[in-house]
Structure 1
């Protein structure tokens, strides 16, 4: 892949950073994992992993997650990878506006019309307001302003709180400064996992005139406050009509043909109100046009889609060939929209 469109200097800086952080033992373990899974020779897989990382922009975890050990070169070239995604983010997400996505309070203020739920900021002296909101809502979600992969997100039930001054003080001390109303998800999502608000990750690029949807993944939780993998969650890719392309999977080698708790067949999932979701993504992408490449986390409710957050470092969600049988990825969509 040509690097002209994404900038050679940013690529070199990224590679230098990776070289400094490389964990040789971890790389060897991953090579062994891939070799055992796909009946390959470990030294050959290890050399291939290093080659792909150094010269083909493939992260070590990308190599494992997307089964590169069994793909041809042509098939590999269709996969979006984290190093390439990072280069796109660095080029098309203006650094002066990234804080609006990194800071959850700034994000809620910026995108308030699209949240469609109540929220407030915890500050010294507003314990009474916190109590009033929590008791009216019954259950609340608190967030630390800066966090990722679901870290810093907590859920509280008002009926279980006796000391409201102490609760308020604890929120301040722990940095849980944002309170949000719990989202009521669409019944089709609740049928898969009712205990977690299940988000749809829509990776999109706004070219200044048109919003291009590049990839869509449906995440499912396990009853925890977040559907991220750190909480036991997993995902399945969605096709251009919002239908699951196969079973669910994660980055820890777990495959879920059915949801472990509800028994719902993951491959049968259809995202409800899909056309409304596509139109909604186009709306939110225009709010901060200086940040063009974003991974939007959206939840479909009975009344329509609502916004959870936007990730200027969009990350990557891709097909897993050994699970879905699909041996091509989404990079052609990225190239067509972005032009690299």
Structure 2
């Protein structure tokens, strides 16, 4: 078990950095969101947000997303927040190995046996190989080597390409050099949103012996190339059996009782093959044991889980009390597993 405590200096450095780049307009905008939803006066919300950031390691968006305005101090203390998550990443994800997760090409090379799809690298002189790959698969995903939250991800169709040399050249120019076969998802996921591969975010901690599942969120797309919120996506938390805890929500104030396109009731969703997902995460978490705290993105395919990517900066997904009725978060599970 890792040593207790996250240390004072990382927290002080984080607070100093946040203070140096605080955006007053952004804080006020978030405070107005809280006012509109919970009826709290903006000045009181601003003071509470600043106090929470300074003393409780609560990000401003965390305060909004997790409805802190309606929670008691004891209830707030059960929520994992982005500042705390960032400190865990810095402590438990060894810097020399982070590039294996941050660089998508290095990630594919390292975890090739778990991707369960073909992929290739676009480089000088392989336009013919690219044409063969895209033609065989019909539709492909192109990624830049570095990107997050769905940035640098595009979807291309062979039928739309009339000049393969130019297509090859344009991909190189845009640095969209990692080409992947489309993932086929399980019919239960396709029933919710067939136009997007809907990923499951499993936040896990590997302590050197055991892989601890800390939180599981199911993301749903809106037919775009990615299910990230920047593409209109949203999520719901899953319980220990893989069943949705509530309707879906995002960080933009949208709540989805039903999927807007398919009409499927989100709270009825059950992730198929959930136990296989848990076992799969235990396996992939051991490949680079120096990166202990990871947000794994997987897709359940017809025959089992498929690895999409791993995020050494795991991020945070949590219950939203105003939607779920659940007024506690996952932080106790993090504490039990990691010991901070």
Same-fold call, TM cutoff 0.5: yes
TM-superposed deviation, 1:211: 0.1
In structure 1, the partner of 2:197 is 197
C-alpha deviation, 1:109, in angstroms: 0.1
Q: What secondary structure sits across from 1:314 in the alignment?
A: coil
**Secondary structure at the residue paired with 1:201?**
strand
**Alignment CA distance shift 1:49-1:242 (3 Å):** same
Report how far residue 297 of structure 1 moved: 0.1
2:178, 2:193 → 1: CA distance?
Answer: 25
Q: Which residue matches 1:293?
A: 293
**Alignment partners' CA distance in 2, 1:158 and 1:20:** 48
Q: Distance in 2 between matches of 1:328 and 1:245?
A: 12
CA offsets, 1:227-280, max 9 Å, x none? 000000000000011000000000000000000000000000000000100000
In the other structure, the counterpart of 2:303 is 303
**Within 5 Å, which residues of 2 pair with 1:64-79?**
64-79=64-79
- Listed one character per residue, the Cα deviations across residues 268-319 of structure 1 (whole Å, up to 9, x for unaligned) are 0000000100000000000000000000000000010010000000000000
TM-score scaled by length of structure 1: 0.99
Moved more, 93-102 or 19-28: 19-28
Residue 5 of structure 1 aligns to a residue in which SS? coil
Superposition deviation, residue 39 in structure 1:
1.2
Matched residue SS, 1:96: helix
Name the SS of the counterpart of 1:305 in structure 2. strand
What is residue 88 of structure 1 aligned with on the other side? 88
> Equivalent residue for 2:156?
156
- Structure 1: 5+ residue stretches without partners: none
Runs of at least 4 residues off by over 4 Å:
none
Classify the secondary structure of the residue corresponding to 1:180.
strand
2:137 is aligned with 1:137? yes
In 2, the alpha carbon distance for the partners of 1:122 and 1:47 equals 51
Name the count of aligned residue pairs. 338
SS of the residue 2:154 aligns to: strand
Name the residue aligned to 2:165: 165
Instruction: For residue 4 of structure 1, report the CA deviation from its aligned partner.
Output: 6.3
CA shift, 1:44, in A, is: 1.0
Q: State the TM-score, normalized to the length of structure 2.
A: 0.99
- In structure 1, the partner of 2:58 is 58
- Tell me how far apart the structure 2 counterparts of residues 310 and 74 of structure 1 sit (CA, whole Å): 32
Deviation digits for residues 196-231 of structure 1 (CA, Å, limit 9, x no counterpart): 000000000000000000000000000000000000
Tell me how far apart the structure 1 counterparts of residues 317 and 306 of structure 2 sit (CA, whole Å).
Answer: 21
Distance in structure 2 (CA, Å) of the matches to 1:106 and 1:94: 16
SS in 1 for 2:97: coil
What residue is the counterpart of 2:279 in the other structure? 279
Give unmatched runs, 5+ long, in structure 2: none
| Aligned-partner Cα distance in 1 for 2:96–2:260 | 43
Q: Which residue of 1 aligns with 2:34?
A: 34
Shift of 1:33: 1.2
1:234 aligns with: 234
Measured on the aligned residues, the alpha-carbon RMSD in Å equals 0.8
